[in-house]
Amino acid sequence: MSEAPLPSNPPTVPPPSQECTVLDMVNDPRLTVKLRPIAGDAGLGRPIRHPRVQKCGLALAGHFYGVVPSRVQVLGETEMSFLDGMGGEARSNAARGFFSLGLSCVVITREQEPSRPIVAAAEATSTPLYVSESRTSRTINAIHAVLDDKLAPQASLHGVLVDVFGVGMLLMGKSGIGKSECALELVLRGHRLVADDVVKCDWRPPGMVFGAAAELLRHHIEVRGLGVLNIKDLFGVTSIRERKRIDVVVRLEDWDDTQEYDRLGLEEKWHTILGTPIRLLTVPVRPGRDMGSILEIAARNELLRRAGKDSAREFLGRLEGQLVTGVAMEDQPESLAMLPVAPHVPAGTRDAAKVSGKPGRPSWTSLGDPAGSNESSAWIPAVRPTKEDE
């Protein structure tokens, strides 16, 4: 886990955190298709290291490039009809070449009975061979669902995960900063607790990170002075959730007067979990701040961002438009009229060259005091600079 200023590349697929054997997959109760064993029982302990199956019909024609032995191989109606169309010797050679690759498992779909050369090659190489009663697409989806869960990359984090208005908020920070107290306040406001203290994270395609509680700590929360509380018993089943996608990471830290915090909401920072960047908010904590309300507003703002509405950028855009067009400050709202504003200099005038140092170009103007002398206002950039200005 790390912090990054901005995700420049799409999230990478992290490697699996654990291994799954063929026996584990076929015996999983969540497997919704029935797999009938045909041959290769000696290879049931072979590992499956990739959650996606592979249909590599070209391997039956002798082209083995791209075949990944640690993936489940599926032979559908097209592949089986290709083998059936071969002569006896050619079919035997194709089967021996295919099964000699050390495959973890082969599944034939649509209840098609394999020919004798296929069964013999599977038994000779100890490759588990199964027949599915379902069609190819359903068989593949069922295997994917099981392997996605068994081979999901996983990590454990110290934090608190809550569901606020449907937004998964992971509260992080040093021990004793008040993460559990914030979660308890949110539960009192009608939101749901997912995990406290230890958050078990797992990655799911195409790039989502889900969090859940450790088995021993599920439904429990620790509050200093009160001890360990069972939230489900105290507030009912509507106050807890077993699992939730992590949408926002909120880092709580002690208020530091020397630290510069985001005043406008224009900064975008990201916290990387299992190779996936997740939006990061840094919220300072000090006595008198209503952290429950602040976190609720953060969740509501995240919902607005998902809908394509960014309040901070819209405000800045309106402010720029008014200053660039030379609107008088008396027409501005009282809260803005009280702020010192650098005078707007029309482009192409002699003053513009004096201010910016470049002929015919206005300077980078701003609202407020960059030095931070006016505590009640932020330094608001009113006109974005061009590349030449920078």
* Residue 197: active-site member: yes
The residues, ordered by sequence, that sit 6+ positions from 53 with a Cβ below 8 Å of its Cβ are 71, 72, 73, 74, 107, 140, 143, 144
Residue 225 CB neighbours (<10 A):
5
Cβ contact 79:118 at 8 Å:
no
CA 222 to CA 372: how far, in whole Å? 39
* Residue 179: active-site member: yes
* Residue 263: active-site member: yes
DSSP 390: -
Residue 255 backbone dihedrals phi, psi, to 5 degrees: -65, 130
Q: In the structure encoding, which two tokens stand for residue 108, read together?
A: 């034939």
CA 318 to CA 337: how far, in whole Å? 15
- Active-site position among 196, 197, 202, 247: 197
Residues forming a β-bridge with 193: 162, 240
- Active-site position among 46, 179, 191, 251: 179
- Active-site position among 144, 263, 279, 361: 263
CA 384 to CA 378: how far, in whole Å? 16
Based on the number of CB atoms within 10 Å of its own CB, is 5 exposed (0-12), middle (13-18) or buried (19 or more)? Answer: exposed
Q: What's the number of CA atoms in the CB half-sphere (13 Å) around residue 276?
A: 24
CA 387 to CA 364: how far, in whole Å? 12
- Active-site position among 116, 158, 289, 306: 158
Residue 64 backbone dihedrals phi, psi, to 5 degrees: -95, 0
Among the listed residues 92, 94, 98, 97, the one whose alpha carbon sits nearest the alpha carbon of residue 73: 98
* Residue 358: active-site member: no
* Residue positions annotated with a catalytic role: 158, 179, 197, 263
